[in-house]
Amino acid sequence: MKRLSKRIFWLILAAMMLTAMLAGCTGETDPKTTEAPQSTSSAPTGTDAPQTAAPVDLKGYEFVLYAADFPLEPGANEMNDRWAADMEAIQTRLNCTINYRVNNGNSLENLMTAVIGGENLGDFVYCRHSAFFPLAKKGYVKPLDGSELVEAGFDVFNADLWDQVYAGLSEFDGHLWGVQFNGEYFPCDFGDVIAFNPTLTTAIGYDKAKLYDLVRKGEWTYDVFLDITAKATRDTDGDGVNDVWGMGNGIFQYAEMCATNGYNPIHLAEDGRIVADFTDARYLEGMVFVDKVYSERRPPIGVGAAGDARVMFKDGLLAFNQLFGPNFFEEPVISCEFDFGVLPNPKGPQQKDYICLYPDCDAYVMLATNKNVETSVLVMNELGKIMTNDGWKDRVKSAFRDEESWEMFETYIFPNMTLNMQNITGDIWQYIRENIVQEVLLDNKTPAQAVEGQNAKVQAMIDAAYGQ
């Protein structure tokens, strides 16, 4: 509701401004350097002939996407060639060039250094929320729903240009800070979901239809998951040693599952401060669940890396494997010989809806040092027109093996993507991993023991990073 009201406000403001402009159309204005030249042709007096939009000439302006992960390679396939043609059409129509500076310079430290030094690295900068949230708090990036960009023609709420799920993930401190393309050319990543082996689950009484129906009924819960994974961890050849297991994952991916109990220990308080509270009962309950899965239902120690778990899933040794979105398009998952299914993460007893935890929100932001806002917005809008479309859905569908998996994704997973606020800076996320998660899963501490005294330590790190 808050986002909708913002949009309505700015639409009303734009309408008022347009009315004022029309009422005073005889007044003079200062020409902009990027202003479109006036057309020399006009319709005969007294006709209703439509007026064509004046062409835009950016006079060779170099538009830069900093740290972007494209372009595609023309000539590789028909899609890449279409993309190249679309890009060429934009550059020709606007008389500009579009370049991509791909490097590792989009860390928080490097971006802060650039802004402090007055440097604008690009028209839009691609970085993670662990970088642009602190930048936003310090005023080093421009709010995309702020008046400056709105007046320049940027509409962060335009679903035809920007994926709205990702725009929503960029919400922080009362504003939206980042946008993401999502379409045929560059499908967005999505967060952690559960893939399952139907052969192993059917053998213990949970076939595909039953699992999908549990999700639809809202009964895909911690307790059900624990029951299935316990039964799936078993000795199938009678030698006294388990040879298939209920769940396999990387150690820190297990820990992310505790957010599915409806609580993130790092969150925004009502007063706008970022606070840390690891003692909340919902978090501790989620950690108890994670500890049970890790301790009792996974392969032996030594098979803890996420990549190793994916290999075991492909080999048919795991009933469940938590996968991050891109994993579906990569080896070894893409070459699975069995028709695996896809489910949301099970929900904890304190959570009504399923949660798809997204560890890293990568988005395009605008640095405060950008002095070419109108031109940047003009070109970025044109990119959004060709980059954002429903073509991404076909890409995701192609990685799944049945229609029900797409139903799970479209209805219960993607709309419920939630940002992992523990990764609010890389240092904080690493500290939590080493000093809370690891102590529970590897050092045999209870969740209550592991979080003792951690609130103050993590809070001090947050306050230092965000200047609170």
Task: Give per-residue pLDDT as tens, 264-278.
Answer: 999 988 888 999 999
Helix, coil or strand: residue 171: strand
pLDDT at 464: 93
pLDDT, one tens digit per residue, over 97-106 is 999 987 667 8
Distance CA 55, CA 51 (A): 12
Distance CA 140, CA 405 (A): 41
Q: Which of 251, 233, 250 is nearest to 242 (CA)?
A: 233
Name the CATH superfamily for 193-358+402-466.
Answer: Periplasmic binding protein-like II (3.40.190.10)
Instruction: Catalogue the long-range contacts made by 101-105 (C-beta closer than 8 Å, 24 or more residues apart).
Output: 101/64, 101/65, 101/66, 101/67, 101/68, 102/67, 102/68, 102/69, 103/67, 104/67, 105/66, 105/67
Q: Is the pLDDT of residue 80 over 70?
A: yes
Mean local confidence (pLDDT), 1-23:
40
Mean local confidence (pLDDT), 337-342:
95
In this prediction the pTM is 0.82
Distance CA 58, CA 92 (A): 10
pLDDT, one tens digit per residue, over 27-40 is 433 333 333 333 33
In contact, 16 and 24? CB cutoff 8 Å: no
Residue 22: which pLDDT band, with cuts at 50, 70 and 90? very low
Q: Which residue has the tokens 């957010």?
A: 259
Q: Is the pLDDT of residue 16 over 50?
A: no
Mean local confidence (pLDDT), 4-22:
40
Specify the amino acid at residue 398: S
Mean local confidence (pLDDT), 412-417:
93
Q: Is the pLDDT of residue 213 over 80?
A: yes
pLDDT, one tens digit per residue, over 91-138 is 999 999 999 987 667 889 999 999 999 999 999 999 999 999 999 999
pLDDT, one tens digit per residue, over 426-446 is 899 999 999 999 999 989 899
Helix, coil or strand: residue 141: strand
Q: Which residues contact 118 (CB under 8 A, 6 or more apart)?
A: 369
How many residues in the chain?
Answer: 468
Distance CA 412, CA 415 (A): 6
Pick the CATH number of 58-189+361-389 from 3.30.70.20, 3.50.50.60, 3.90.1640.30, 3.40.190.10: 3.40.190.10
Residue 72: which pLDDT band, with cuts at 50, 70 and 90? confident
Q: Which of 122, 189, 181 is nearest to 386 (CA)?
A: 181
Strands 61-66 and 274-276: unpaired
pLDDT at 17: 40
Average model confidence (pLDDT) across the chain = 87
Q: Is the pLDDT of residue 1 over 60?
A: no
Mean local confidence (pLDDT), 359-385:
96
In contact, 107 and 136? CB cutoff 8 Å: no
Residue 303: which pLDDT band, with cuts at 50, 70 and 90? low
pLDDT at 163: 95
Q: Is the pLDDT of residue 205 over 70?
A: yes
pLDDT, one tens digit per residue, over 138-197 is 999 999 999 999 999 999 999 999 999 999 999 999 999 999 999 999 888 888 999 999
419's enclosing H/E stretch is strand 417-419
Q: Which residues pair with 234 in a beta bridge?
A: 244
Residue 54: which pLDDT band, with cuts at 50, 70 and 90? low
Q: Is the pLDDT of residue 25 over 50?
A: no
pLDDT, one tens digit per residue, over 243-264 is 999 998 888 787 788 889 999 9
Q: Do the domains at 58-189+361-389 and 193-358+402-466 have one common CATH topology?
A: yes
Residue 301: which pLDDT band, with cuts at 50, 70 and 90? low
- Give the start-to-end residue ranges of the domains of the chain: 58-189+361-389, 193-358+402-466
